[in-house]
Amino acid sequence: MDSSEYHRIAQAEDHHWWYVSTRRLLRELLVETLQPGIVSLDVGAGPGGNGAWLAQYGPVIALDYEPIALEYVRTRRPELVPLQASAVALPIADHSVDLVLALTVLYHVDDDCTAVNEFARVLRPGGRVLFIEPAFNVLHREHDVLTHGIRRYRTGDLERLAVNAGLQVTRSTYAKSFLFPPAAVIAGSQRIVKRKRASQPPRSDLEARRADRIATPIMRKLAELEHHILRRINLPFGTSAVVVAQRASTGLLQP
């Protein structure tokens, strides 16, 4: 990912509506896992804001490959344990982690199959992994180029990766459904004007825009409404694919 995006994330992750609403969604999806003493692994932790709240339950390892991300963790998130490593080769013992967060991680990884196998390997019996990945290739836009995104996912893609790694899928849905129409419009318009902008750098979704002051309260309300809906049903579309998978708690452990 472009280094400039780490700076933008660090500035935004504590207050931007997307990060705030995502953490709320995490809490609701992981309510059965959030017990005192759990060990959590935040893979691709970036500056650390998405996983820092888990420290109230137990140790949290903030793993990232990029030194710039871990520097933010060290200076701003003392409650986290920084660890530099790749998602496809976790330097963590088998069956030693209760929760793996993989938020926009596989999106960046060449060998996503190996990465998910690694997540499954480090999970204790009954442990869970939560995937949130950018959804639908049709939404590919300049932000994906800036962040070096390799692929976008459908929930079925994530389910297959989890099952092939010996995990049981317990929840599968899309999220941020209200963002799908504007994201599709932006992606389409950017493809149309791509040739005209060929000499200009790609733009991040986090870049400040005048419309943010108007859009932010609206997005917060829409995110809150969606959370109420997700408590009852799974959504058929959205800008994020969300899958929760669990390692078997009894019987033989799968490799």
Percent of the chain residues past pLDDT 90, beyond the cut: 73
Torsion sign across C-alpha atoms 46, 50, 52, 55: negative
For residue 253, is it within any domain? Answer: no
Report whether pLDDT(208) > 60: no
pLDDT digits (tens, 9 = 90+) for 132-177: 999 999 999 888 888 888 999 999 999 999 999 999 999 999 999 9
pTM: 0.88
Domain extent, residue 108, equals 3-246
Per residue in 176-186, pLDDT (tens digit) is: 999 999 999 98
| 76 lies in some domain | yes
Q: Does residue 235 lie within any of the structural domains?
A: yes
Residues 6+ apart with CB under 8 A from 225: none
Quote the number of domains for the chain.
Answer: 1
Q: What is the percentage of the chain residues whose pLDDT exceeds 70?
A: 89
**Coil, strand or helix: which one is 89?**
strand
Q: Is residue 100 very low, low, confident or very high in pLDDT (cuts 50, 70, 90)?
A: very high
Integer Rg of the chain from CA: 18
> Residue 110: pLDDT above 90?
yes
Specify the residue for token string 């998405």.
50
Q: Are 186 and 211 in contact (CB under 8 A)?
A: no
Q: What is the CATH number of the domain that holds 83?
A: 3.40.50.150
Residue 254 in domain? no
Residue 252 lies in a domain: no
Question: What is the pLDDT at residue 40?
Answer: 98
Q: Note whether residue 29 is domain-resident.
A: yes
**Whole-angstrom distance, CA of residue 92 vs CA of residue 96:** 7
Residue 106 lies in a domain: yes
Does some domain include residue 230?
A: yes
